[in-house]
Amino acid sequence: MSIEAKKALEWLIEGNNEYIKSDKNHRGDISLEKRLHTHKHGQNPYAVIVTCSDSRVIPESIFMTGIGDLFVIRLAGNVVADFGLGSVEYAVEHLGCKLVVVMGHTMCGAIHAAIEDTHAHYISSIIKEIQFAIKDEKDNTKASKINVLNTVKKICTSNIVKEEKKNGLKVIGAMYHTHSGHVEFYKKINK
């Protein structure tokens, strides 16, 4: 059964508040019982998180989640190309996720590389994608936000996403603050 976007966002905010408060306890369910249950009955994640590969950004911990809760897509700079979009489409169409959160973060190395224009080889495609979004912005956090919103926009070009939006799907941007652990959501969901 699908979880409504509003409820999914409430759970994420609640989990993030919990994460900021406790620096040791992980509340997410990673028990043997949950593992066996999801193995047998399949997954029913309530949110898709598109975020950066940065090792300081751990979606499952940031939102205090466990097995079967989040469908996570990670690439440096939280960009999406065909493979990423395909993963989002799978989650919203086949798994019934009603909330997609594109979560950038402060102090992002990929954003820094895009601003400084330092790159080579395969990373070039990521940097070019970010540069296309941020243009002349030199402030890392501001550029991160622009880049997040660009990824949101890109996800919304998917026909499957467009279709699912009629059924309550929401695609929103967010920023993870690496010093405080706080996730700043750019949009509220009222219904």
Q: Which stretch binds Zn ion (CB under 5 A): 40-48, 83-91, 106-114, 135-143?
A: 106-114
Question: Does residue 62 touch Zn ion according to CB under 5 A?
Answer: no
Question: Does residue 130 touch Zn ion according to CB under 5 A?
Answer: no
Interatomic CA distance for residues 62 and 74, integer angstroms: 14
Q: Is 174 within 8 Å of 102 (Cβ atoms)?
A: yes
Identify which of residues 144 and 158 has a Cβ nearer to Zn ion in the complex: 144
Q: Is 177 within 8 Å of 106 (Cβ atoms)?
A: yes
CA 128 to chain centre: 20
Least distance (Å) between residue 148 CB and Zn ion = 11
| Radius of gyration of the chain from its Cα atoms, rounded to whole angstroms | 16
189 DSSP assignment: -
Question: Does residue 108 touch Zn ion according to CB under 5 A?
Answer: yes
Least distance (Å) between residue 73 CB and Zn ion = 14
Least distance (Å) between residue 50 CB and Zn ion = 12
Q: Of 50, 66, 73, whose CA–CA distance to 176 is shortest? A: 50
Identify which of residues 52 and 85 has a Cβ nearer to Zn ion in the complex: 52
Sheet holding 170-176, edge to edge: 70-74, 47-51, 99-105, 170-176, 183-185
> Max Cα separation, the chain?
51
Using CB under 5 A, pick the residue from 15, 50, 54, 79 that binds Zn ion: 54
Question: Does residue 49 touch Zn ion according to CB under 5 A?
Answer: no
Q: How many residues bind Zn ion (CB under 5 A)?
A: 4
Question: Does residue 129 touch Zn ion according to CB under 5 A?
Answer: no
Residues that bind Zn ion (CB under 5 A): 52, 54, 108, 110
